[in-house]
Amino acid sequence: MHEYAVTQSMVRTAVEEANKANASKILEIRLVIGDLSTIIDDSVQMYFDIMSEGTIAQGAKLIFKRVKAEFKCKDCGEVFIKPPKGFDCPKCGGLGTPTDIGKEFYIESIEIE
């Protein structure tokens, strides 16, 4: 449900930045979303469609770029992409812990006219 708040903030930021650039319309917003952020693309899209109505962002295309979660093994120090199931290190089988890669949620770019 936190998609509501992050989408609201994203719309506000995109519109503010577009206004600073004297844009008449936002055509596209590129978002970077880490797999560990638990943000669901479809929910962001749904809220965006509602929240952008009547703004210069209305009708803009959202592009979602997903970042795979990176883990680091507590035992051997190996850095690896989280496997589909579990958190085991592919090198030694030890337990991996999350790094900062995969927690992202930010606007990468905004295309305006």
Binding-site residues for Ni(2+) sit at: 2
Specify the residue for token string 């509501």: 4
68-84: b or e for each residue (b if 16 or more CB lie within 10 Å)? Answer: ebbbbbeeeeeebebee
Q: Which two tokens stand for residue 69?
A: 């979660």
Q: Which residues are annotated as a binding site for Zn(2+)?
A: 73, 76, 89, 92
Rounded to whole angstroms, the Cα distance separating 101 from 104 reads 7
Q: Which residues are annotated as a binding site?
A: 2, 73, 76, 89, 92
Rounded to whole angstroms, the Cα distance separating 46 from 48 reads 5
